[in-house]
Amino acid sequence: MQKITTEVKIGIFVVVAVALLGYMTFKIGDFKFGREKGYVINGSFENVSGLYIKAPVKMAGVTVGAVETINLDDSKARVGMRIRPDVKIRKDSLVAIKSESLLGEKYVELIQGKEKELLKEGDTIYKSVSVADLDSLITQLYNIAEDVRSVSGFFRETFGSRDTKDTVKDIMKNLRDLTENLANLTERNSEAIDRIVMDLTELIGQIKGMTEENRAPLRNSLANLERISDELSAMTKENREPLRITMTNMQELSTELKDKAPQVMGKIDTIVGRIERGEGTVGKLMKEEGFYEKLDSTLAGINKYITAADRFRLNLGFRGEYLMDEDDTKGYFSLKMQPREDKYYLFEVIDDPRGRTKITDTEVTTTPDGSTIITHEVKTEDQLKLSALFAKKFGSVAFRGGLMEDTFGIGADYYIINEQLRASVDAWNFDGNAEATNPHMKFTANYTVFKTLFLNVGVDDFVNSKKSSSFAGAGLSFDDEDLKYLMTRLPISMP
């Protein structure tokens, strides 16, 4: 049977790779032949910052379509949305732009109306719901801080001066002296009050004599007074209980004021003294000069954390590289954490089909004269390897270093065409092994076809002729916003 040549293998691989690439392109890119199903409606928005083509359109949390176009209509944004044919939208519905999470991507939310009339192809929803974004929240927080600053400044200017403090102390002292004088005055003039009562008794006797002389006129006056008295008596009977409670409360209040006035004045003096010494919240506001700087520093720290969390990127990826000389596939799973544009951390798990090399020597006696033949059996085994690298970018060149496939290694990347094309060189395993005395070096050319799909080709271990192999592969790479949200919530400092 004729053996399949390497050229035939490469041809078969290219055909299969092109077919797989075409299928993944139309599957992942959501390409469809012919006219897409559903109907298109439009939404009018004041601002669509962060919204992109093919962003999901949801209703009650369920995806019912996707954004098809984003255009500028006069001074507003006009968003075209293709809706599934089985979903009906009422004419008085509302639209809003929302986020999956605090740091997630944007999507369009449809809020169903109540009218029976439905929207048709090309109709526009002009009613939109405004959603507060992160910038407006930070602005509101800054305004609140300014209000707190003005209030605390008012207290400091009002009570912070020495003259104001002395004035408050004088007022408290005068009130205390006034209550003491009133109590002493009542005790000292009890006899004078008795004399006033006696004089009133004599006055009543005189009034009685005058009454006898003016009996007839007074009778009429008394009749009138009696009628008024009856009316007052009736009113008193109707409001007897409320009047009794009021008089009791006034009596108790008077007693409490008399007994507790010295204590109240003492507490007021204590409070004023604490404020002067800078104790308590109000005292600290008036005494602590650096309070405003601390508040500004706190707000700056919050703004720095939000900015760092917003620029943090977390990328997941996996790829396969078919080793043509080995007739096997090498698999990679990667996690890339990028806190800044100019540096990132890369962690990879590699399934290497020739990860471990085992050499077995066998002695065989073949002739009567005792001659022996030593045979070498070389066997490679599949092995999982780990990589943990730190990378730093300088313009269009990035340098990497750290743990590379279980040994120390270094590498460099050169980015071309806005980072769509990348050429990489890696070197590791500088101690060599039984089958390769030179370091393991690898050259890779990587091309990004779509946002998440990329292809790569290259030569693996090209400085060791016995193990050198060309390869070709493909993979997926995408940003995970949900995992990014969990990572930014962990109690660690952002770079």
Number of other CB atoms surrounding residue 109 within 10 Å:
18
427 located within any domain: yes
38 Rama sector, left if φ>0, alpha if ψ -120 to 50, beta otherwise: left
75: phi then psi, degrees, rounded to nearest 5:
-105, 5
The CATH number of whichever domain residue 463 belongs to comes to 2.40.128
Domain end (from 112, 131, 150): 131
* The predicted structure's pLDDT at residue 304: 61
Same structural domain, 335 and 479? yes
Same structural domain, 368 and 482? yes
| Nearest CA-CA partner of 377 in 392, 389, 361 | 361
* The predicted structure's pLDDT at residue 484: 56
Q: Mutual orientation of helices 162-188 and 134-159 as an angle, nearest 10°?
A: 60
Same structural domain, 278 and 325? no
CA–CA gap between residue 474 and residue 449 (Å, rounded): 10
Strand pairing of 372-394 and 343-365?
antiparallel
**Residue 457 one-letter amino acid:** V
CA–CA gap between residue 453 and residue 27 (Å, rounded): 11
The DSSP H or E segment spanning 423 is strand 421-428
293 located within any domain: no
Same structural domain, 44 and 89? yes
Same structural domain, 471 and 437? yes
CA–CA gap between residue 105 and residue 22 (Å, rounded): 28
Residues 6+ apart with CB under 8 A from 241: none
Angle at 4 between CA 21 and CA 16, to 5 degrees: 10
Q: What is the pLDDT along the chain (495 residues), one digit of tens a residue?
A: 556 777 777 888 888 888 888 777 666 555 454 456 889 999 999 888 888 898 999 999 899 999 999 999 888 899 999 999 999 999 899 999 888 766 667 899 999 998 889 999 999 999 888 665 555 666 777 788 888 888 777 767 666 667 777 777 788 888 888 888 877 776 777 677 677 878 888 888 777 777 777 777 767 777 777 788 777 777 777 777 777 787 788 777 777 777 766 776 677 777 777 766 666 665 665 566 665 566 566 656 666 655 555 667 788 888 989 888 878 888 899 998 888 888 899 999 998 887 666 656 566 656 566 566 666 566 667 788 899 999 999 988 999 999 998 889 999 999 887 778 889 999 988 876 656 678 888 999 998 887 788 999 999 888 887 788 899 999 988 776 655 555 555 554 444
146 located within any domain: no
* DSSP bridge partners of 373: 364
Domain end (from 252, 287, 322): 287
Same structural domain, 121 and 164? no
Same structural domain, 367 and 433? yes
Specify the number of domains making up the chain. 4
* DSSP bridge partners of 109: 58, 96
pTM value is 0.38
* The predicted structure's pLDDT at residue 94: 93
Q: Where are the beta strands (DSSP E) in 267-396?
A: 313-323, 328-340, 343-365, 372-394
Same structural domain, 237 and 252? yes
* The predicted structure's pLDDT at residue 34: 46
Same structural domain, 13 and 56? no
270 Rama sector, left if φ>0, alpha if ψ -120 to 50, beta otherwise: alpha
Question: DSSP 3-state assignment of 155?
Answer: helix
- Structural domain that includes position 359: 312-489
CA–CA gap between residue 20 and residue 147 (Å, rounded): 62
3-state secondary structure 244-294: HHHHHHHHHHHHHHHHHHHHHHHHHHHHHHHHHHCCHHHHHHHHCCCHHHH
